[in-house]
Structure 1
């Protein structure tokens, strides 16, 4: 099965800012959900804009087999994007936006959009500018789902939303995702919030890849050791990625290559993605 998203040695240079992205490579097939992580300035937005064909780049990128810049009209048939910055036309009513979407996109399913919005408090006659941010995100997602897109990129989609809207958003998102051969990229600072959704993760720092892995491999490659402080010098010699001091003991993030060497020194726990993210960001600094 060919990849829905293929990125090979993608780089981006800005005249004044310098290098924003350096030699990033990955592939995504149907059924994969990639968490794109990194602090501000890590290169996430630059990579997303490259995938969307919004600017020139170096390297090779293919979206469903098409090149994003030269064949942007082709990729937009199966690629959708939702960002934290609202791009829906505020002067339109909800009904007008649905009419417009139905007219410009041949695969738009109006009945599906109406059914999804029927589960919300969004009224067809409401002006989009009068909707809350949560409602706007729900409306945007309903349009994406009704368009039956294959590739969806989310950029901080739940930023500023309360827990109820976040729960509703991700519930509808997962229903859509499992209803077809699709792939999903989620860029977010809320690592703990999206961890359970991911099959893969790509962590960037200063435009470079510091970790590219499946979620399954992360639990195999790293672990947390909670050990008494009397073992501190022994554990420090094993090059821990990070540590968190407690009362009389310390939690260490270690590579699995040292599992046998710390056997019996303390309790072993599965590593959380948020712990690994923070450790790699500090290590790469």
Structure 2
């Protein structure tokens, strides 16, 4: 099966800011959810813009077999993008947006869009600029789902949304994902919020990959040791990635190579992606 998204040695050099992306490679098959993680300036937006064909890059990128820069019209037939910044035309009403999309996108299912919006508080006569941020995100997702897009890129989509809107957004997102052969890329620094959705993760720092792994492999490769401070010197010889001091003990993030050695020193816990993310962001590249 050919990859829906293929990135080989992608790099981006800015004339003033320097290197924005360095030698990134990955492939995504149908059914994969990739978490693209990193703090502001890590290179997430640079990579996304390369995938969208929004700026030049070196290396090779293929979206459903098409090259983003020269075949952008082709990739947009199967790829959609939702960011934290509203890009929907505020002067339009909701009905006008649906009418417009129906007219320009041959794959748009107006009935499906209407059905999705029927379960929200969004009214067809309301101008988009009058909608709350949560409603705008819901509307955008409804349009994307109704176009039966195959590849969806989300860039901090729930930033600033309350818990109710976030729960609704992710519920509809998962319904869409499991309803076909899809690929989902979620860029975020809210690691705990999306961890349960991910199959794979790519963590960027200063434009470089500091971790590229499946979620299953992360559980196998790292663990948390909660040990009394009397064992500190012994644990430090295991080259911990990070530690968190408690009242009477310390939690250490360690490589699985040291699992047997650590068993006698304290309690062993499964590592969370957020723990690993914070540890790698602190490390020097």
Same fold (TM over 0.5): yes
**2:75 alignment partner in structure 1:** 75
Alignment of 1:96-175 (within 5 A): 96-175=96-175
Q: Hey, what's the Cα distance between the residues in 1 that align with 2:161 and 2:80?
A: 21
Q: Hey, what's the Cα distance between the residues in 2 that align with 1:265 and 1:110?
A: 61
The answer (yes or no) to whether the contact 1:12–1:19 under 8 Å persists in 2 is: yes
3-state secondary structure, aligned to 1:227: strand
**1:198 alignment partner in structure 2:** 198
**1:255 alignment partner in structure 2:** 255
Please, which runs of 5 or more residues in structure 2 have no aligned partner? none
**1:52 alignment partner in structure 2:** 52
The answer (yes or no) to whether the contact 1:210–1:284 under 8 Å persists in 2 is: no
Q: Hey, what's the Cα distance between the residues in 1 that align with 2:217 and 2:22?
A: 24
Deviations 1:183-222 (A, max 9, x none): 0000111100000000000000000000000000000000
Shift of residue 261 of structure 1? 1.2
**1:3 alignment partner in structure 2:** 3
Q: Hey, what's the Cα distance between the residues in 2 that align with 1:16 and 1:159?
A: 29
When the two chains are superposed, the root-mean-square deviation of aligned CA atoms in Å is 0.6
Deviations 1:103-135 (A, max 9, x none): 000000000000000000000000000000000
**1:226 alignment partner in structure 2:** 226
Shift of residue 284 of structure 1? 2.7
Shift of residue 260 of structure 1? 1.2
TM-score normalised to structure 2 length: 0.99
Deviations 1:21-69 (A, max 9, x none): 0000001111100000001110000000000000000000000000000
Please, which runs of 5 or more residues in structure 1 have no aligned partner? none
TM-score normalised to structure 1 length: 0.99
Q: Hey, what's the Cα distance between the residues in 2 that align with 1:202 and 1:274?
A: 13
- How many residues are treated as equivalent by the alignment? 285
Shift of residue 248 of structure 1? 1.6
3-state secondary structure, aligned to 1:42: coil
**1:280 alignment partner in structure 2:** 280
3-state secondary structure, aligned to 1:250: strand
Q: Hey, what's the Cα distance between the residues in 1 that align with 2:31 and 2:284?
A: 30
Q: Hey, what's the Cα distance between the residues in 2 that align with 1:181 and 1:284?
A: 38
**2:17 alignment partner in structure 1:** 17
In the TM superposition, structure 1's runs of 4+ consecutive aligned residues that sit over 4 Å from their partners are none
**1:242 alignment partner in structure 2:** 242
**1:189 alignment partner in structure 2:** 189
Q: Hey, what's the Cα distance between the residues in 1 that align with 2:284 and 2:182?
A: 33
Shift of residue 94 of structure 1? 0.3
Shift of residue 156 of structure 1? 0.3
